[in-house]
Each structure stands twice: as structure tokens, then as C-alpha cells.
Amino acid sequence: MNPTTQHQLMLKIVAGSAWADGHLEPQELAYLGSLLRRYELEHDPELQELLRQPVSIQQTELWMADYLAQATEAERMQLLGAIGNLLIADDNVSPEEHSLLDDYHSLMAGIPAQPESAPNLVKRVGQFFRRVAKAVAG
């Protein structure tokens, strides 16, 4: 995966994670904007649309499975960091958000070096995102 495509997919996942509770907080929007600028993707129309329109959990799951199937461990940690920064963007980390980061780290750690050999990857990603949505909405 070329770096631009990888960054676009990572930003889609982070945006989808931000929409897990059905809305974007101003701090989340600001953080997403900073990521777009960091990767020089602030003019990408598809990514801009993700800041305006809610993203379904199912779509985020698909992006996540696609990303994780191709990502190195360092790239996975970069994504984990971006989602972590998103969760703390409002300077208030709830116990649920902290638990979600732990769960996410466990999900990442359970992916083999050759993730294409993990047929249950999509299922595990789906289970993780359903927990995210439930915890964030709760």
C-alpha cells in the first residue's frame, strides 16, 4: 500500500471512530483537521465528506479489516495512537474510553505477522467496533 493510500485509509478509520457515538465533538473535528493537514490530505473530497456525514460502524469495520490486513506492526501502533488521541481530544478520558484503548491494543496484538492468514480478522474487528459503539453511546 502506498503511503498516501495508507494515510487515507487510516484517516477514514479515525473519522469513523469519531462518529461511533453518532456525532463529532468540536475537539474531535479539530483533531481530525490536524491529521488531514499533517498528511497533506486536507483537500481530499472523500475525507472532507467524512467530517460532514456520519460514518456507519459497518463501514468503519470494513476499513479497519482492510487496513489491518496490510499494516505492519508500526502502522498499527500509529493508528492506535491516532484513535487514542481522538478519544482524549476533549481532555476527558472516561473509564470506558480507557477500556476501549486497552481492547483496541489487545485486538492489534492478536493479529499475526501475516494477517491475511487470519480468516477471523473481520469478525474480530466487527466485535471490537460493536463494543466501541456501545461504550461510547452508553
d(CA 26, CA 109): 31
Cα dihedral across residues 17, 21, 24, 25: positive or negative: negative
**Residue 18: HSE in the Cβ half-sphere, 13 Å Cα cutoff:** 28
- Using the 8-state DSSP alphabet, how is residue 51 labeled? T
pLDDT tens figures, 97-126: 666 667 777 777 666 665 554 556 556 666
d(CA 15, CA 56): 10
**Residue 65, pLDDT above cutoff 90:** no
More confident residue, 112 or 11: 11
Helix (H, G, I), strand (E, B) or coil at 106: helix
DSSP 32-94: HHHHHHHTT-TT-HHHHHHTTS---HHHHHHHHHHHHHH--HHHHHHHHHHHHHHHTTTS---
pLDDT tens figures, 13-42: 999 888 877 788 899 999 999 999 999 999
Q: Which residue has the cell 477514514?
A: 12
d(CA 15, CA 26): 13
- Domain spans of the chain? 3-137
Please state the pTM of the whole predicted model: 0.77
Portion of the chain with pLDDT greater than 70, in percent:
71
